[in-house]
Chains A and B, each alone.
Chain A
Amino acid sequence: MRELKDLARRLLEEGAVKVVIGYEEGPVGVRPVFVTRPADAEKLVFNSKCVQNLAAYLSRRRGHIARLGKPAIVVKGCDARAVAGLIRESQLKREDVVMIGIRCGGVSLQPSEEGPLTPATVADRCGGCESREPKLADHLLGALPPAPPKATRMSELMAQIEKMPVAERFRFWAEQFERCVRCNACREVCPMCFCERCIQDKSQPQWIETSPHARGNLSWHFTHAMHLAGRCSSCDECQRACPAGLPLGLLNRKMAEIVRNRFEYQVSDDPTVPSPIGAFKQQDPQEFIK
């Protein structure tokens, strides 16, 4: 995308930013790139393989990236929600990042997937997306492509689970979590997981067993979903990153649905809209409380 390369080069030459965090074509698919030299701006691309949510790289925890200096970041609408989350939670100042928004026509499930998007190859979150033009942007590039096709695997699996009686659901998740090896890729790629010390790391006392057996894994994934309630930007990176192929996006999807139904709240890319957790209303639902 010529506009993107030119903009990035200009920002670097002018010293407006010290690094542009974007996407490049890697040896086996599109991957994140950190451009610090104006000439390297030629590496930047944007296409339907740009699945990754780059907002994770803005966390202060990543000292080796923070050291590079003020960043510009290429964002799709979903990514912008994550950056808004970081700003909302005081992890980042709005003026400390330059947002390069790209008008998006959807991305593929895998960053190596060539060809036009189909319901089989498109990422789960794209169908019906209402943020194809990121609002949180200093620059907005590209023409708006046609809307992406809709993948049905996640909604089908969700429906399948909801039809199951409770005991069967427990069995389903226990089977899934037997596969989890607690690599924590789901945590590390998540832009909203910026805790310097994760609850899993706490050992005096220990709250979550660190062993990767189904019991420890269930406690971890439950806690992770609760800690992301009302904050998750629904980027599904957790699911993509999972080496065991667990349907982690489902947990966050369900939580988002609960937050929407109960508190009429949807995570937005406006950092000034406060998060539902940490806030309350006098008339919050409590029909289940005796």
Chain B
Amino acid sequence: MTSTGFEPKIAAFVCNWCTYTGADLAGTSRIQMATNVRIIRLPCTGRIDPLFIIKAFERGADGVIVSGCHPADCHYTAGNYHARRRFTLFNDFIEFLGIDSRRITFSWVSASEGQKWADIVNDTTARVRELGPFSGYRDLVRSGLTGGQDAGT
């Protein structure tokens, strides 16, 4: 906990076959980790539309984790390869738009890597806690940034 008591809200989009199972393993192994992460299970990282990540920030997430099977281990053979290309574009592009890419962690976590999952969770939570809350996106409606047209708040 920081002195301000800010606890980041982190959404995690993980694939069912590797990372979700790995996270489960972390749990059954009783590995202690930060409790800030809400997991959303998908069949494959290939299902992850960059819009999910954007939506998470739009709805008030302070950080996002995206994780799946290692390349060559995808349950659906090539889903994570497609995802990898999308993530590459996404990661480079959001910096241009002004969203700090340090708020997002991309990882490959296999079903047997319970400890790695715990490390990802702890690292991300610490990093996002350091960066502070990200309410800028969610609160854009009330921003009143410019002297321009009245968007009607």
Contact = CB atoms under 8 A, between A and B. Distances in A.
- Are any A and B Cβ atoms less than 8 Å apart in their complex? yes
Interface of A: 161-162, 164, 166-175, 177-179, 199, 207-209, 212-215, 218-219, 222-223, 225-226, 229, 251, 254-255, 258-259, 262-263, 276-280, 282, 284-286, 288-290
B51 A178 contact: no
B99 A289 contact: no
Contacts of A218: 97, 137, 140
B47 interface: no
B141 A214 contact: yes
Nearest to A172: B98
Interface of B: 49-51, 54-55, 58, 71-72, 78, 81-82, 84-101, 105-108, 120, 136-138, 140-141, 143, 145-146, 148-149, 151
12 contacts: A167-B100, A174-B145, A178-B146, A208-B51, A222-B97, A223-B50, A226-B50, A262-B88, A278-B82, A288-B88, A288-B101, A288-B106
Contacts of B149: 178-179
Contact of A207 (B55, B93, B106, B143): B55
A234 to B, nearest CB: 16
A50 B100 CA distance: 40
Given A226-B89, A289-B87, A199 B106 contact: no
Nearest to A181: B149
A168 B146 contact: no
Interface of A is mostly: helix
A220 to B, nearest CB: 10
A240 to B, nearest CB: 21
A286 B71 CA distance: 10
Contacts, number: 136
Nearest to A290: B107
Given A222-B54, A289-B106, A258 B145 contact: no
Nearest to B106: A289
Contacts of B151: 178, 212-214
Nearest to B104: A288
B35 to A, nearest CB: 20
Contacts of B98: 164, 166-174
Contacts of B50: 222-223, 226
B66 to A, nearest CB: 9
B58 A289 contact: no
A246 to B, nearest CB: 12
Given A254-B93, A262-B89, A171 B54 contact: no
Nearest to A158: B96
A277 B93 contact: no
A226 B140 CA distance: 21
Contacts of A288: 87-88, 91, 101, 106
B85 A169 contact: no
B58 A219 contact: yes
A251 B145 CA distance: 21
Contacts of A262: 88-89, 92
B7 to A, nearest CB: 21
Contacts of B105: 290
B65 to A, nearest CB: 10
B96 A178 contact: no
B87 A215 contact: no
Given A173-B97, A262-B88, 19 more contacts: A162-B96, A166-B98, A168-B98, A169-B95, A172-B98, A174-B140, A174-B143, A175-B145, A177-B140, A178-B148, A179-B146, A213-B140, A213-B141, A213-B151, A215-B140, A222-B94, A280-B82, A286-B84, A288-B106
